[in-house]
Structure 1
């Protein structure tokens, strides 16, 4: 018999293969691992985004309240939010949640739900 044919028969009997690549099982294992990692990381990313929005909102409210106090010292009355521009605020801050900021009669700043 030919030596090449004998080698081919030996490979087939031993179950060795010449093909390169991944088996379906290997691909499924990788996909499952990636799914598990995504399930762990996505909630943490979403939570940190909400925390950043809350922090931005609080900072905006403190800045508006500070400007309202300065307005009060100059005018002996608390302003409406629009009265603060441009002398006390360069630009009215935008709520990251889409809500509107309001200033009450005592100078406190509140976040009012935005009518969609």
Structure 2
């Protein structure tokens, strides 16, 4: 009577491994899947910048409206809204140009950067 390990070895002797063609096909399939993932993830950054720009514009508009409601006039700049109405100035040079907000005091209009 054969030991269980010997029976396992005898059964494995007749089995063949993967061929080179099968391995190459698997590698090509994995490469195609990786390329699809890379190209689909590239666009996520663009939508994130657009959302950040729209959020900055909306926040600045709300702060200008609150300032107008309290003081009866538009602020001279968005920097005048810090720290009472805004945490930081969204029109400052430190903010990325794609999401930076511009403000026109005469009309009280707020516009967004290039990502909006």
Structures share a fold, TM > 0.5? yes
How high is the TM-score relative to the length of structure 1? 0.63
The separation in 1 between residues aligned to 2:79 and 2:95, in whole angstroms, is 15
Q: Is the 8 A contact 2:99 2:112 kept in 1?
A: yes
CA displacement, residues 1-56 of structure 1 (integer Å, 9 cap, x when unaligned): xxxxxxxxxxxxxxxx89x8755433322221112112222222222332122112
Task: Tell which deviates more after alignment, 23-32 or 83-92.
Answer: 23-32
Task: Tell which deviates more after alignment, 61-70 or 26-35.
Answer: 26-35
How high is the TM-score relative to the length of structure 2? 0.63
Q: Which structure has more RCO (C-alpha within 8 Å, separation ≥ 6)?
A: 2
- How many residues end up aligned between the 2 structures? 97
Ranges in structure 1 where 5+ consecutive residues have no aligned partner: 1-16
Task: Tell which deviates more after alignment, 61-70 or 94-103.
Answer: 94-103
Decide whether aligned partners of structure 1 residues 58 and 109 sit closer, same or farther in structure 2, where only a CA change above 3 A counts.
Answer: same
Ranges in structure 2 where 5+ consecutive residues have no aligned partner: 1-12
Q: Is the 8 A contact 1:53 1:96 kept in 2?
A: no
Match of 2:104 in 1: 104
C-alpha RMSD over aligned residues: 2.9
Secondary structure, aligned partner of 2:80? helix
Q: Is the 8 A contact 1:80 1:102 kept in 2?
A: no
The separation in 2 between residues aligned to 1:95 and 1:66, in whole angstroms, is 19
